[in-house]
C-alpha cells in the first residue's frame, strides 16, 4: 500500500536546507505532495517572496523526491488536503512544533529539525546587509582591491 506524505512551505530562495528537508520527508513514505505557499497567501502572513510562486512551484516540482506540487492558499487548506488526498503523514519543520497537532486526528504529524546554519531568513538578512553598503564604501573597497592587484603584479 502506498504511503502518502504532505508538507507545506514557501521555498523561497531554494537552498540545501530545503533539499535536505524534502529528502528526509520522502523517506517516510512513497509519495510526497508539497504545498507551495502562493504569493497571496504569503502576503496574509506578512511575508514577501523574492521568487514568484510559479517559479518556486516549478523548482520544487523538479526535485526527484516530489511527486506533486499544489498551491497553498490558506491555513485551513491543510485539513482539507489531508482528507481529499488520502494523506497518511503530515511532516513539517520543527520551527512549527505543536502548531499542527490538531491534525493528529486525521493523520500522523511529524516535526523534523531544520538544517543547521542555513535558512531563507538568514539569506535574506545577508542580502539586506549587502544592500545597505553605501556606494562610496563600495567604490573605496574596489579602489583598495585595485591597488592590491597592482602591487601584486
Question: What is the pairing mode between strands 68-72 and 89-93?
Answer: unpaired
Q: Does residue 45 have an active-site annotation?
A: yes
How many Å apart are CA 153 and CA 148, to the nearest integer?
9
- The angle at the Cα of 66, spanning 78 to 28, to the nearest 5 degrees, equals 75
> Is 47 one of the catalytic residues?
yes
Q: Residues 3, 4, 23, 45: which is the catalytic one?
A: 45
Question: Bridge partners of 5?
Answer: 32, 89
Q: Is 39 exposed, middle or buried (0-12, 13-18, 19+ CB in 10 A)?
A: middle
Catalytic hit among 3, 4, 23, 47: 47
Active site residues: 45, 47
Amino acid at each position: 500500500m502506498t504511503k502518502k506524505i504532505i508538507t507545506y512551505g514557501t521555498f523561497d530562495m531554494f537552498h540545501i536546507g530545503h533539499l535536505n528537508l524534502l529528502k528526509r520527508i520522502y523517506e517516510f513514505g512513497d509519495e510526497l505532495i508539497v504545498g507551495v505557499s502562493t504569493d497571496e497567501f504569503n502576503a496574509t502572513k506578512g511575508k514577501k517572496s523574492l521568487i514568484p510562486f510559479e517559479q518556486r512551484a516549478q523548482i520544487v516540482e523538479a526535485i526527484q523526491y516530489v511527486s506533486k506540487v499544489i498551491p497553498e492558499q490558506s491555513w485551513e487548506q491543510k485539513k482539507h488536503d489531508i482528507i481529499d488526498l488520502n494523506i497518511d503523514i503530515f511532516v513539517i519543520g520543527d520551527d512549527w512544533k505543536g502548531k499542527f497537532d490538531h491534525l493528529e486526528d486525521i493523520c500522523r504529524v511529524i516535526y523534523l529539525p531544520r538544517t543547521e546554519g542555513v535558512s531563507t531568513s538568514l539569506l535574506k538578512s545577508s542580502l539586506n546587509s549587502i544592500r545597505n553598503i553605501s556606494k562610496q564604501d563600495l567604490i573605496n573597497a574596489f579602489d583598495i582591491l585595485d591597488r592590491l592587484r597592482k602591487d601584486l603584479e
